[in-house]
Amino acid sequence: MGQAVQPDGWPRPRGYSNGYVVGDVLFIAGQIGWGPDERVVDGFVAQFTLALQNVRAVLDAAGVPVENVGRVTVYVTDKRVYLANGAAVGAAWRQVLGKHFPAMSLVQVADLLEEGAMVEIEATAVIPSGAAR
């Protein structure tokens, strides 16, 4: 049986969990560039940074260190915007996740569910023994 992970202060999502633990694996749902007020911020780099911070918040809520992330999938609505902002994206990554570079896929999609969202990031991590859940 699995267990939902919910960062403190976040509104409960409808129909899914922000994080879900099955066995010793944490699955992090796609996170977008919005805060607890559920308002998407302006700008691709700002959205990318906040989406990463949201992934980090789920990791922290589960007691899982960044180094245990094994896979990240980044969904973007325009790969050209991602590529044009490569230096800023890299800086945001290092700021939020440090110099940990797990397996990653980048997928361009036609659109994302939330209006105005340009990026969504999901991740999978292994939970170390003894981590708070």
pLDDT digits 0-9 by tens, 43-85: 999 999 999 999 999 999 999 999 999 999 999 999 999 999 9
Whole-angstrom distance, CA of residue 32 vs CA of residue 101:
20
Whole-angstrom distance, CA of residue 10 vs CA of residue 85:
29
pLDDT above 90 coverage of the chain, percent? 92
Write down the domain spans for the chain.
Answer: 3-126
Domain 3-126: CATH class, spelled out? alpha beta
